[in-house]
Structure 1
């Protein structure tokens, strides 16, 4: 029976083992067979070849020297997962972190899911990695106990060794691996996880494993890849989305210095796939970029060339005056609730399309040789890259190898694989490895953007000052796709309002409607998809209603949340009210909410949001000058992401980074769309926040609760914008209903 067949027949999380050759160490990993349901993770110990060398195709390798190598399977995009997930194994294994080496795993089915997005890497792997580390520890303890002929219960572990207290004997893990590899895999009942009170690694501050290489400029990122004989490529696409090549001065370009070839790639109409364009391959990036400046292409720009942001806004305004599109939720008698309300208010909120603007532009190195494709890519979703290359170029998946490099930022952009398939398509025409590098202008103008949107809101409060009715007509954007031969307009990622979106489940009278406008702008996931703007809209409007009711914004929110411990979901996740109220109260307490009367020009704002399984509340303290200059003085963040913070340093970094990223996004980014193309091309036209504008105080507090461990890359982002905008209102009396903030005059006097 082959290895995959035997694994497929294994029970859920059952650990299988094969003997390792003597002297070659112990290798353990979690394998996911295609024959097993995707949610079924199966333990697997794979034998090593008769060599002391290490091939990173599983998670734990312990060499006879005692050196421990752990494989990080998730893509590292700056979220710190390459450090934090191996820490989970190392804690259960009881090894000294200084004695551990971390390697990045390539795309391999043995690892199961390898995508990085949605703050899922930690919750999807934490428990299994605990058990994997604990199983390895159990095997090593049993090996030592047999060597000493004592009960395993008399043995303990610490810093990579097994100890027998009564006889004062010690054996290092390296001395035990040969014996451990011959033992039967422990039964589940024999594998005991550590008590968190005994943790020595988890919850401490550990620097990122790549930090030394990053600060010394060593090659880590996709853009750093170098191969012998490598050529360099650029790819020119139509400035209007969906356009096709009619003609190009290829012969003239081919004669330019350093140019090896120039050719047209027909591509397809798939906005997220291989778009039509012209490739230039040269001896250097400089030669390729220089030749591109001489490239002259005649384009068929297609129908999208007639689209613009002004046109979208006009369509949205027209849609707001019509009955809502799809009804997402309708509870109670909304019309009667508004008619009987003590006060009602209306407001329109809007946000633009924006770019991911990752510091490392998209790039990929590809080598097509002997009918096989080898890829090196800074990707968040390597399987999607392999699958797109396979389906587009007609290559079997088993003929495609993908190496995962570190990414210089992702924020959802690298979940798409267009840059990967572009490199592969170029490499098929080149008899050498070739690196495709996008310019900053490529990256900004051919992004898969965060969708713009318009919210037309009405809210009502009753005589007791409580929120009694809510109506949100959301106008969003989508791309046309074919489903069963029919054209369907599919909302952009994060551009669809959920029927359970707060505060819908809390109100007797609620109407949520959504109109999707077709557009030709490609859209994709953007950090905290949906929540990054929904939180701003919803929690800003809730603040408007609190002030209309004459209520303290904190008290109004606590009253709205109510006394139920959990509000069940119809389609989404259950909402634990107790967890949210706790972080909300804690944030208010830490920020001294309402404890002093602030002068005009200074204000506090509060907001909370539940997203990506995390409960987060924030309070912002701001100062606004009479001339309208904003300074965010302090942000207090309280987060509940479960029972354990894995790496305190990394967790704090993620929250602080979320605050800075969210504040920058609130203040500046906005894309103009004219004639079906993006106007902005670089940071002089698309500013981001600079260091002097960063809040001098970002206080991060974690609330531990007895719930599963969840991620942190996204939940701390959404509450920042409404907290700051609510603080601006408290300071100036002005509401911010349009993003970015730079479009609102904040002056007062």
Structure 2
């Protein structure tokens, strides 16, 4: 796909409207109150020089939206204002954790983002933990998983975050040893001095969290040792052993199995449910509810929901519903 062309992104505000200034590179701020090194993607903090290299404007609307703009581009655009809330941290065990505001459902984004982190921080991929963050209303559109947008959203952000975390750890090690950060190297999450002294990221993270912001520059692609090379999935073993947690595995307090009957037509209507009492009297059924239309952003389709003690009971009751449907607005 060609790069979008058109209006500059500085025509947006914090809510995605006019007035918000953002460059192609999402830069960083530190979460200085964190007890360990924690990096938050943000805007307006220059971690690389010269700053002009990071100021290339990202277009808002292309000249030809058919050729240049798709749903993934719109997700990238509207996720950008809340990128400062995304966190990357280094624990005292040396593990690097990304709180990913996306759902890993088999497409491999957790591994792809983990590879970006491992590349920039010079840590084994096995020391990178990428998990789906808890839902946060303030993240808004930055929690949408779809449109092949996740890599496009994080590719300009995550390498800079990881490079900044690495720089901060190196700066603390150099301070402790009376050396220049440029004289140090990192191998598998261990900082090594020219004289052979070494320290793990885990042993440095608490002290490094107290340091001011150093400069940082992501690697040139010619230096890549992880990205572009074959690797296994971070979650492969958990998937095949049943340890990986999916949405259906979440233990939501007081939640009950619920099945939904929906109209066969787009935007069809529920005229009536003709046997509500009979269905409610079926074994295990807790309630039968008509789901009204609505939805401020994505239109909510109408339907009839049945809650029961088990999925089997909800399934049976849902199939037993006698519903009179009305035509949808798209009936031809």
The bucket for the TM-score relative to the shorter chain is 0.7 to 0.9
Query: Which of 144, 148, 155 is the equivalent residue of 2:173?
Result: 144
Structure 1 length as normaliser, TM-score?
Answer: 0.34
The reply on whether 1:259 has 2:259 as its aligned counterpart is no
- Partner-residue secondary structure (3-state), 1:223: helix
Deviations 1:670-709 (A, max 9, x none): xxxxxx8xxxxxxxxxxxxxxxxxxxxxxxxxxxxxxxxx
The Cα of 1:174 is off from its aligned counterpart by: 1.4
The answer to whether the aligner puts 1:170 opposite 2:183 as a matched pair is no
Deviation, 1:42, is 8.4
Question: After the TM superposition, which residues 270-419 of structure 1 pair with which residues of structure 2 at under 5 Å, given as runs?
Answer: 273-299=299-325, 301-302=326-327, 304=328
* 8 Å CA contact 1:231, 1:281 repeated in 2: yes
Distance 1:72 1:240, change over 3 A: closer
Instruction: Determine if contact 1:15/1:185 at 8 Å carries over to the other structure.
Output: no
Using the alignment, how far apart are the partners of 2:304 and 2:141 within structure 1? Answer: 36
Q: Deviations over 1:416-446 (max 9, x none)?
A: xxxxxxxxxxxxxxxxxxxxxxxxxxxxxxx
Residue 128 of structure 1 is matched in structure 2 by 157
> Are the structure 2 counterparts of residues 298 and 114 from structure 1 closer, same or farther at C-alpha, using a change threshold of 3 Å?
closer
Shift of 1:76: 2.3
Contact 1:64–1:175 (Cα < 8 Å) also in 2? yes
**What SS does the corresponding residue of 2:142 show, helix, strand or coil?**
coil
CA-to-aligned-CA distance 1:564-623 (integer Å, 9 cap, x gap): xxxxxxxxxxxxxxxxxxxxxxxxxxxxxxxxxxxxxxxxxxxxxxxxxxxxxxxxxxxx
Deviation track 1:470-524 (CA, whole Å, cap 9, x = no partner) reads: xxxxxxxxxx7xxxxxxxxxxxxxxxxxxxxxxxxxxxxxxxxxxxxxx44xxxx
The 1:162/1:112 distance shift into structure 2, 3 A limit, reads farther
Structure 1 match to 2:48: none
Partner Cα separation in structure 2 for residue 194 and residue 260 of structure 1 = 57
CA contact (8 A) 1:27 1:58 kept: no
Distance 1:197 1:269, change over 3 A: closer
- In structure 2, the partner of 1:621 is none
Cα distance, 1:59 vs structure 2: 3.0
The structure number with the bigger radius of gyration is 1
In the superposition, relative to structure 1, how do residues 79 and 257 fare at CA in structure 2: closer, same or farther (>3 Å)? same
TM-score where L is the length of structure 2:
0.72
1:25 and 2:53 matched: no
Unaligned runs of 5+ in 1: 45-56, 305-479, 481-518, 521-675, 677-749
96 and 113 in structure 1: CA distance in 2 versus 1, 3 angstrom threshold: same
In structure 2, how many angstroms separate the alpha carbons of the residues matched to 1:274 and 1:64? 45
Q: How far does residue 244 in structure 1 lie from its aligned partner after superposition? A: 2.3
Structure 1 residues 111, 139: closer, same or farther in 2, change over 3 A?
A: farther
Offset, 1:245 = 2.2
The reply to whether residue 180 of structure 1 matches residue 205 of structure 2 is no
Give distance in 1, aligned partners of 2:202 and 2:140. 25
What is the rounded CA distance, in whole Å, between the counterparts of 1:111 and 1:86 in structure 2?
23
Superposition deviation, residue 40 in structure 1: 5.6
Aligned to 1:230: 255
2:83–2:142 Cα contact (<8 Å) kept = no
Does the 8 A contact of 1:245 with 1:264 survive in 2? no
Secondary structure class of the residue paired with 1:261: strand
Unaligned runs of 5+ in 2: 1-13, 45-76
Offset of 1:184 from its aligned partner?
A: 1.2
Q: Which of the numbers 147, 165, 171 marks the counterpart of 1:118?
A: 147
CA RMSD of aligned residues (A): 3.3
